[in-house]
């Protein structure tokens, strides 16, 4: 009968150990979730912003001579600006640097 008591005692001890490990696992998981929430709450706004295009295309002045009246060697009749003009419409800013994390 002594062996049965030893076996029953061992089974009860195993169950207590499993219960303790389960409690530790749940506690650590809850603490990790809370820490992740605190970190996420304290992070700044979005890491990437969409930049607006800073160029504008405007048509050039029409040449004074029509294409039908041009002489050979006459390029466009005007001051040589026969296409569209692209000009910057503002300053370009650099996006804010991202924080470096130790994660993936």
Evaluate whether residue 51 is within a structural domain: no
How many folded domains does the chain comprise?
Answer: 1
Evaluate whether residue 32 is within a structural domain: no
Evaluate whether residue 73 is within a structural domain: no
DSSP string, 29-78: HHHHHHHHHHHHHHS-S-S--PPPP-EEEEPPPPPSS-GGGPPTT--SSS
Evaluate whether residue 8 is within a structural domain: yes
Per residue in 39-86, pLDDT (tens digit) is 999 998 776 666 665 555 555 655 555 555 666 665 555 555 555 666
- d(CA 56, CA 27) in angstroms, rounded, equals 59
Query: What is the residue range of 9's domain?
Result: 1-25
| CA trace torsion 52, 90, 97, 39 (10° rounding) | -60
Evaluate whether residue 1 is within a structural domain: yes
Evaluate whether residue 46 is within a structural domain: no
Checking if the pLDDT of 19 tops 60, the result is yes
| CA trace torsion 31, 32, 38, 43 (10° rounding) | 170
């Amino acid at each position: 009968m002594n062996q049965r008591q030893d076996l029953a005692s061992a089974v009860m001890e195993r169950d207590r150990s499993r219960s303790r490990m389960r409690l530790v696992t749940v506690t650590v998981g809850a603490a990790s979730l809370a820490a992740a929430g605190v970190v996420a709450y304290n992070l700044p706004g979005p890491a990437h912003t969409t930049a607006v295009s800073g160029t504008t295309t405007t048509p050039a002045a029409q040449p004074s001579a029509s294409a039908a009246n041009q002489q050979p060697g006459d390029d466009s009749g005007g001051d040589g600006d026969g296409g569209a003009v692209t000009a910057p419409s503002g300053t370009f800013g650099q996006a804010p640097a991202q924080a470096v994390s130790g994660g993936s």
